[in-house]
Structure formats: structure tokens, C-alpha cells
Amino acid sequence: MQRPTPGSTLRTGGFWGPNLTARACGAIAIAVLLLAVALPLVALFYRSLIRDGALSLGNYIDVFSATRNYQPIWDTLVLGFWSMIVAAALGVPLAWLVARTDLPGRRFLEIVCLLPYMLPPLIGAMAWTQLLAPRAGYINQLWMSLMGTRTPLFNIYSFGGMVMVMGFYTFPFVFLAVRGALERMNPSLEEAARICGARSARVARDITVPLVIPSIAAGMMLAFLYTASNFGVPALLGMRARIYVLTTRIYAYVLQGDMAGIQLATSLSVVLLALAGLLILGNRWILRRQHGAAIISGKSVRPTRVELGRFRYPLAAVVHLFMALTTMSPIVALFITSFLKAWGLPLQASNLTLRNYQYILFEFPLTRTAILNSLILAVASATAAVLLGAALAYIVVKAKVRGRQAVDALVTFPNAIPGTVLALAMILAWSGRYGVNLYNTFGILIVAYLAHYTFYAYRNIAASLVQVHPSMEEAARISGAGLFRTLRDVVFPLIRPGLTAGWLLVFAPTLRELTMSILLYGPYTPTIGVALFDLQDAGYFHIASALAAVLVVVILVTNMVMRKIVGARTTAA
Amino acid sequence: MASISLRHVSKLFGSVRAVNDALLDIADGEIICFLGPSGCGKTTTLRMIAGFDRPTSGEILIGDKVVSSAKDNVPPERRNLGMVFQNYAVWPHMNVFANVAYPLKLRRVPKRDLRQKVQHTISLVGLEGLEKRYPEQLSGGEQQRVALARSLVMEPVALLLDEPLSNLDAKLREKMRFELMDLHRQIGVTMVYVTHDQAEAMVLSDRVVVMNRGRVVQVDSPMAIYGEPRDPFVADFIGLANFVPVVLQDESAGQGVAESTGPARTRYRCRVRPHAGRALPAKGTLFVRPEDVAILPPEKGEVKGTITRATFLGTRLDVRVDVDEVEWRADASTDSDLHEGRQVGLSIRRAIFFDS
């Protein structure tokens, strides 16, 4: 969209033009970005190479010479691999059913598929525990009483349990990628093959599948990345079975509290960061290699849906039942537990109570503080992220300064960095070593959230800004409005939906953040995520469930509001 | 190669009649254009011939075989047709050679034969040397040729084209029109062509099928469609036209006299299609092409008028003349000295009366 704009002060002067205030705002935004992202990451790299005050590879040698250090690397890869397989096995068929068949209830399936996308896997792990904890899980209880046995059906505290929960929580990545590809694909590509003489199975083999494979692969890589970055699931389900992945091993080392622990955690973090980087590069590479041609779109032809015929209703029943079981039943179990006087009690009216809610909301200091903290943190981070994101988006999209690609990368990349790595980098950079100590304060949490989540606000605002044609601003300038007046009167009203959506997109995930918070919270700054984790880990399932239930409701409401504003079906936090 | 027949074909989408009782015989080797505004049912008709949509009633024959009826539908892959889509639908994951070879591969043509036929077709559409290219490395016009080659390579019984030139720029579009004609001259395949571009339809087709709101309005040679439109829709859709409200006063043997409804009650001689239910005097519209209006000095001509505007259009003058409170359009040569306000006489070479 490059177009010559001779004489425009906005561009000929460039961003570093005559307006001093504008320059100051831009400089501040970039400085914040450097301090929140670049400095901590540099500190992380640097520290991983320092041993006894000298440059050395000793830390890495330590990592690769002790089983308890390299085993987590291997386990991360295996867990990521299998979750990715489960995600593809679920996501691909569902995407095809929703995008390309006349299966009844497709709209409902679409929403159900996005549910795990909105809720954090931590809640998934909690919920599945209610169902499949070895002794007292609802399903295991049912199984044992039906079969008259004392061996549970399935132990959630296992590698298989982690794979299952992660798979259920990452399949939307594959689902969304494949559904998008199937819907975007021009139906005439397939019709052309039919008219050439190919039957539908042949069309699928020669045309549809080859065109969708890159999207499947890209979705699977995201599933892998998401799994490798996740802390909640392996922490709740794996540590009890002494299975450590990178995130949990790093956590354990940080918790150890001494220099040696931090040192090893730092090196392991760099390994995890490298893994994430490889996955992101792979994802980008696949998407870029995708044959982009033939997108010359003509009139939209009605998408040809496969008629399932007599399989239509049986298949619908199976699919809906399966989706209900995997996505809804754990949540239902969670809600049920939240009304029980104690976990494990049979479901009877006499055992039901609202006490848990009263307790977490009004009595228990930990949860009360955590809720308040998380609300403050989420509002502060979302607001800061929108301000920062808007300034950066304007710099990148409108002012077109030199080096804008670097700015774009510095906002985008941290979103893909595992939270554990980012949190450790924050500790290294901001706990006094470089003159500022934010440790144990809200400050370090906000900086970490900003680094990780500003991307959501930035992306949405940038997308809205792109829509604002330069002539809109030019018309305001020629009418006599200055830069800030133009921003206020023209640009701001036009991108307001993007700003609101950006705010909510940061608010929702920070409200329930666990991975970074668990490493960064202090005695006075526990968050909801931390409280959930601690209560669940300590076995107070009924109280944890009540807190989780409140969180689920808040997240769903936030998402509904967001959908109303953005009007898009697929945006989710 | 084969003829194609549509017998009382209708297609309903819900309660919308996309195609309404279409009746048409396309001769073997003919080029037929479906022409009409968007939503007139031309693409739906083509898709029914291709087998992608099934008629709600009526039947379609290719050769003497019924391929579509309300009961039975031969799937597209068994019709042996070639089709060029509006967006070309060239497969992005296959190179030019693979795209063109695909229909032969499906037909299990032996390798040597296949290679030779593909090469022949590729050179027929002028793509030699680009066999290894992928679609993203091709221009729109080249992709178009790939689509064309792919649809011709297995020697289809007929070639269907769905607005194939609408994505090309004006110059290329004109060039491709003539190339398609040359191609047809070489291979003589039956061609069914959908377009909303009247110039394209005029240049290419043996006969034009004008459609409007799901109905076939007129099937005729391009000349007849232009000169003898069946009704005001066809007259208006193709070329420029003057429409003058008139009352038919007299008719005999296809000739008539119509009187304008303006204050001067100007009388025009015109052609009248016989119409049993017509009672004189009959209200209607007089249809005259601008090039059938000659501008003469004021003392000559059947009608007097005043020039309101004369616009230079390069090869000719577009002249607006006020006659009896109706604005007429006329064509004049650029060397004539016509300017605003001048009194002129008009002579009308050809006028057709349409009942209202």
C-alpha cells in the first residue's frame, strides 16, 4: 500500500518530524519496550554464559551432563509431540465437519471448540482431576463401583494424563487453522478437478489435502509450542508423578532459592527459548512457503458441502457427545465440586453448599487478596498495554519510521516466549542487579505481563489502523487540525473498537495468569492463578473449584463482550 | 464433440427461481454466449450443464444422453466437459505441466502419449517454456491459458467458460477474445460462454442467449440481438438506445405509425411486431439506436429539434437533441458543425415499437 504522499508533513518529516510531543511519546514507548523485553532477554543470555564471574559454557555442560536436567528436555519434546498428535487427531476431522459438511449443529460445535481456547489449561487440569483423580475422581469412582474393582480406570497424574489435557486444550489451534484454510479455499479449485474427471475421494487426495497440509502443520506447531510453554498442567499433573518438563524443572530450580538453582534455571530457560524459537520459525516458514497464488477471487460460489446422507444424524450424535464429554463435562464437574462441602462426598442435597463461594469471596485472606490483586494487575496491565500498543502500532503502521520491523518483532516475539523464560528474565533484570529492584512488587508482574501480552493490544490496534486510509488523516490536516487534534477527532474514533478489543484481550489472560506469576509473586502479591494452583496442589479441591468457577464466569463474560465489540468469531484470549 | 439441449430447465434455490423454464438447443461446434446482468441465472445454467447444480425440473442432454434431470444427475467428473472458471482455479500446488496433465492422468493415458498431448496443448495456448512454473509465478493472463489448456487437453465434448476474461485488464481481454475465436476455429469444440460483457458476447458468439431474472429472453445472432431486440430489456441491455413514450395509432403488415405523447404529437413511422391482443390506439415505447438517427439541416427531416449538448468522443460526436420535450441521443461525425442551441431536423432510419 505504498503510495506517494508528496508534501505531507506527516511523512516527509517522518515520525521524527517537527512535533516534539509526538516524538517524546514515541521515544517513551520504544524505551518501555526495550526495558521490558530487550533488557531482560539480554540479561538472561548473558547470565547463562557467566560462571564464577567469567564467560563460560559451564552452565550448559552441567545441563547436559545430569539426567535430572536433560530428562526434562526430552520429556518436553515427547509431551509436545503427543499433544500435537492428539490436537491434530481432534482438530482436523472437526474442522472438516464444520467447514465442509452438512452435519447438524455445526455452529454449536464451533463454539464448543473455542471453549478450551478461552479457558486456561490450568482450569482444564483441575477439572479433569475432578473426573480422573486415581481414587476420588468421579469417573474413576463410577468405574470402580460398576466393575467392583479397586483399580481406577485412568490415573490423571501421569504422562498420559498430561498428553490428554494438553491435547484437549491445544486442538483449537489446529481446528482454527484448518477450518480457515478450508473456508478460504476457493471451491472452484475442487470443482475444476471434478470437471477434469476426478471423483470426490480423488479430489480430496489430489487437491484438498495437499492444499490444507501446510495449515495442519502450522497449527500442530502452535500446539507443540503452547504445550512446551505450559506450566499449569505439568505442574499439577506431572510433578506429583515426578515427571518434570522444562517449565516445571525451571520452576523447581528457582524455588530452590540459591545461586546454583538460578544458574541452572537460566541455562534451561535458554534451551526452552531456543525450542520455542525453532517452533515459531518452523511455523512461519511453512506459512510463507504455502502456495499463495490463485487467490484471485471471483464471485463467491456457494461452498459445496459434503452431504453426509444417512450418516448425518448418527455422526452428529457421536461428535456432539464426544465434544460435550471432553469440553463440557470437566467444567460441569468443576462447578459441581465448587458446591460440595468437601471433595469426594457423594452428590446429595445434604452435601451441597454455597459456603465455598462465601469463603473465597469474603473470608479467606489468600483468595480475597488474590482476587483484588489480579483485578488491579489486569486493569493496570490492560490499560498500559493499550497505551503502549497504540503508540507502537502508530509508529509501525502510520509513521513508518526506519527500524519499524525491529519494533514489530520486539512486540510480537515475546508473546511466543514461554512465560517461564520471560519471568526468569524479569527476575534477572529487575531484582536489583541493575539498580532497580521490583522483586516482590506489582511492578515486576506488570512489566512481565506487558512484555508477554502487549502483542494482543498491538495487533488489534495495528489492524484497525491499517484500515484508516491515510487520506482520512490528510483530510483532517488540510482542514486545519494538528497532529493531536487529528488523532483525537479522526483516528481515535475510527479505531475505538480495536482499542476496546485490545484492552479486553489483555485483561482476560492477565486476570488468570499463572506461569509467570508463580515465579514473580511476593508475600503481598499473590494472584488468582497462584491461589488456584496452591489450593488445588494442597488438595483443597472444593475451594479451588469455587475460585475457578468464578474465574470461568468472568472469562466467558469478557469473551462475550469482546465478540460483541469485534464481531469476529475467532478472536479469543 | 456434441450438442447440448436444455429442455424446460428450472432451478429453485429455496423459493428463488434462479432459472425459469429454459429451453435451448446448442448445436455441435457452436459458440453460444449466455449474456445478462448479474443474478440473471446465466452462471446457474452453466453450472447445471457442468453438473454442479441439479435442475429442480426439466432435463439437460449432452449429445442424445440425458445427463441432468430432477431424478438423476450424472456427476461432473463423468460428463467429459472442459471448464474454465472465472478465477481460473489453477491449482497452486502443481506446476503448469501437472495442472494441464491432470485430466489425462485421471484417464490413465500412457506416459508418452500424455507428455505429447500436454505439450501440444500447452503450445496451442502459447505457454511453451513455462511448464515448470508454479501458478504464483504466472501472470493473470498466463494462469488463464493454463486453465484453458487444462480444459482442452482431454478433448472434451464441450468447453464451458464462466466469465473467463473478467479478471483480465482491458487490452488483454480484447486480445484473448480473438485468441479464443482462433482456438475455436482450430479445434471446433462446442463452447458455452457466460459473460456480462456485451462486447465479448458480440465478438465471440454464433448465437447470444440473453437472460433476465432467470428467463431466457432472446436467442439470436449478435446482429439480430442488436438490431431486432425482442423487448425493451434486451434493447436497453445491449448498446445505447433512445426510448420515447408513444401511442401506436395505426398498424398494418408489420409497419405502423406512432405518435409521441409530447405537446407536438410528433408522428413516427416504425416497425411493429404482430400482437394478437393489441387494440389501437396502444400505449408503448419507441426504440431507436443513436446511429439510426441522422442529423440534418432544420428544413429537412421528419422531426425538428434543438441541440442541448454535443460531446466530442474521439471517433464521433454524441449529440443530445430536445425533440418534443424528450431528449434524444444521436451519433454524428466529428466534422459536422453541431453546437448547443442549434435548430436541426432529424431523420429516423429505423424505429421499433414495443408494447408497454
Q: pLDDT tens-digit profile of A243-277?
A: 999 999 999 999 988 888 888 899 999 999 999 99
Cβ atoms within 10 Å, residue A327: 22
Q: Does B86 touch chain A (CB under 8 A)?
A: yes
Smallest Cα–Cα separation from A486: which of A112, A9, A60?
A9
Mean pLDDT of A186-195: 89
* pLDDT recorded at residue B273: 85
Residues 6+ apart with CB under 8 A from B34: B42, B45, B46, B192, B193, B194, B195, B209, B211
Contact across the interface for B107 and A197, Cβ inside 8 Å:
yes
Q: pLDDT tens-digit profile of B212-252?
A: 999 999 999 999 999 999 889 999 998 889 999 999 998 88
Q: Does B69 touch chain A (CB under 8 A)?
A: no
* pLDDT recorded at residue A18: 55
Query: Which chain B residues are closer than 8 Å to A199 by Cβ?
Result: 75, 77
| A333 three-class SS | helix
pLDDT band at residue A292, thresholds of 50, 70 and 90?
low
Question: Among the residues of A397-491, which ranges form H helices?
Answer: 404-416, 419-430, 442-467, 470-478, 483-486
Q: pLDDT tens-digit profile of A204-230?
A: 899 988 888 988 999 999 999 999 999
Query: Which chain A residues are closer than 8 Å to B147 by Cβ?
Result: 192
* pTM, 2 dp: 0.81
B255-260 and B242-252 beta bridge pairing: antiparallel
Q: Does B107 touch chain A (CB under 8 A)?
A: yes
Contact across the interface for A210 and B135, Cβ inside 8 Å:
no
Q: pLDDT tens-digit profile of B118-142?
A: 999 999 888 999 999 998 889 888 9
Smallest Cα–Cα separation from B48: which of B36, B62, B65, B31?
B62
Query: Which chain A residues are closer than 8 Å to B140 by Cβ?
Result: 296
Question: Tell me, what's the ipTM?
Answer: 0.81
Rounded to 5 degrees, φ, ψ at A256 are -55, -35
Share of chain B above pLDDT 90, in %: 53
pLDDT band at residue A472, thresholds of 50, 70 and 90?
confident
Each residue's pLDDT, cut to its tens digit, for chain B (356 residues) gives 689 999 999 999 888 899 999 999 999 999 999 999 988 999 999 999 999 889 999 999 999 899 999 888 899 999 999 999 888 888 888 899 999 999 999 999 999 999 999 999 999 888 999 999 998 889 888 999 999 999 999 899 999 999 888 888 888 888 888 888 888 988 889 999 999 888 889 989 999 999 999 999 999 999 999 999 988 999 999 888 999 999 999 888 888 899 888 888 888 889 998 877 788 888 999 999 999 999 888 888 888 889 999 888 888 889 999 988 888 999 888 877 888 888 899 899 999 999 88
Contact across the interface for A291 and B76, Cβ inside 8 Å:
no
Contact across the interface for B82 and A195, Cβ inside 8 Å:
yes
Q: Is A539 exposed, middle or buried (0-12, 13-18, 19+ CB in 10 A)?
A: exposed
Tell which of A188, A195, A209 to mutate to test the B interface (max B CBs under 10 Å): A195
Contact across the interface for B136 and A189, Cβ inside 8 Å:
no
Q: Which residue of B has its CA nearest to A303?
A: B52
* pLDDT recorded at residue A6: 41
Dihedral (C-alpha) A289, A293, A297, A302: value to the nearest 10 degrees? -60
Q: How many pairs of residues across A and B have Cβ atoms under 8 Å apart?
A: 102
Q: pLDDT tens-digit profile of B12-27?
A: 988 889 999 999 999 9
Q: What is the DSSP letter of A296?
A: -
Q: Is B216 exposed, middle or buried (0-12, 13-18, 19+ CB in 10 A)?
A: buried
Alpha-carbon distance B85 to B346, whole Å?
47
Contact across the interface for A191 and B85, Cβ inside 8 Å:
yes
Q: Which residue of A has its CA nearest to B77?
A: A197
Q: pLDDT tens-digit profile of A490-526?
A: 888 889 888 998 999 899 899 999 999 999 998 889 9
* pLDDT recorded at residue A72: 94
Alpha-carbon distance B267 to A573, whole Å?
76
Query: Which chain B residues are closer than 8 Å to A181 by Cβ?
Result: none
Contact across the interface for B134 and A291, Cβ inside 8 Å:
yes
Q: Residue A318 corresponds to which cell in the numbers above?
A: 457421536
* Pair B57, B11: CB distance under 8 Å: no
